[in-house]
A and B are shown apart, each in its own frame.
Chain A
Amino acid sequence: MEKLTLGKNTLLSYQGQLNFEIIGHLLNSLKDETDARNIPLSHYKKILSVMIEILENVFKYNEFFEHASYLFPNHAPMFYIEQSDEGYLLVSGNPILNKDIEKLQKHIDHINALDKEGLRQLFRTTLTNGEFSSKGGAGLGFIEMAKVSGEKIVYSFTPIDETYSYYTCKIIISNKALSAE
């Protein structure tokens, strides 16, 4: 596990394999960092809920590293949070199987097309009718992130080789969303 040097506006930054314990460790770091910077509790809670969903998505996708460790030197999972005048930016990156891209892209595009009320409706129908995936996901993570964020989810897929691409996901928690209480 390798920690990157924190810039002035970087709340948290991590690169390396993610597991349940490391996520716990990163969540504790967030608490320390937001306390040290006097970030309001209401901001902390919003960052926390997006951070958990975004990291759990990466974590649930971890398994294939066992047979693709060659990806590691240049394409390890990463995560960081930046604070700016516009709000907070949470970014995750991880390798993904090319064959899974289309499904993921469809899912995010569907969520991005919805307004606040649409997201609420989708959350409720998924909560009621959704099934757990084999990876233990309830299909609610992206909807939850979009609800908190109030902005579109920004994503990209950069090809690595014929099997994998590097997937980046950016969630903005804007000042608008932070003051919407």
Chain B
Amino acid sequence: MNETLFIESTEFTPEIIFNLSQRKLLFKGVSRPEDVIKFYQPAIQWLKDLEQKIRTQADMRYSIPSLHVEFRMSYFNSASSKMLLEILQILRQIREMGVEILIDWYYDANDEAMYEDGMDLSDAVDIPFTYHPIPS
């Protein structure tokens, strides 16, 4: 797997930046891809590779004590929420191996639904999120 994954945003899809050396993952923008499974496949594969690496190489657990995940989504459709859950489920597997997973959920302060979407995902995956309303 590569150290970094960068997917540029489009009108219909979010920016995704994974940077292992900085221990940072970012999802930013809107998400209603034409083919949601295909769009998220590279991100899911990257995380699966990371999970396997941490599971099979003991020293990885010490070199990656924590991962910082930022969601800065302004909109995602219901099919995308299913893919975000799949991503979070891989992060939970990584968490179960001792890596601290810190999830920051940013949302427009006027957008109660986006806050609720965060809570739904957090509950579904059983990882606490930190919520950050952005004043608009």
| A interface residues with partner B (beta carbon < 8 Å) | 20, 24, 41-42, 45-46, 48-49, 52-53, 56, 120, 123-124, 127-128, 130, 132, 136-138, 140-141, 143-144, 147-148, 180-181
**Across the interface, do A137 and B79 meet the contact criterion of CB distance under 8 Å?**
yes
Also in contact, A141 and B110, with CB within 8 A (given A52-B32, A124-B124): no
**Across the interface, do B113 and A46 meet the contact criterion of CB distance under 8 Å?**
yes
Also in contact, A141 and B78, with CB within 8 A (given A20-B34, A127-B85): yes
**Across the interface, do B82 and A127 meet the contact criterion of CB distance under 8 Å?**
yes
Q: Does B36 contact A (CB under 8 A)?
A: yes
Contact digits for B22-56, partner A, Cβ 8 Å, 1 yes 0 no: 00000000001011110000000000000000000
**Across the interface, do B79 and A138 meet the contact criterion of CB distance under 8 Å?**
yes
Instruction: Report the minimum CB–CB distance from A21 to chain B (whole Å).
Output: 9
Residues in B neighbouring A143, C-beta threshold 8 A: 78
Query: Size band of the B side of the interface?
Result: 20 to 34
Out of B34, B77, B82, B111, name the residue touching A53 (CB < 8 Å): B77
**Across the interface, do B120 and A140 meet the contact criterion of CB distance under 8 Å?**
no
For the complex of A and B, 5 pairs with smallest distance between CB atoms: A140-B78, A138-B82, A138-B79, A144-B78, A20-B34
**Across the interface, do A123 and B32 meet the contact criterion of CB distance under 8 Å?**
no
Residues in B neighbouring A137, C-beta threshold 8 A: 79
**Across the interface, do A127 and B37 meet the contact criterion of CB distance under 8 Å?**
no
Residues in A neighbouring B120, C-beta threshold 8 A: 120, 123-124, 127
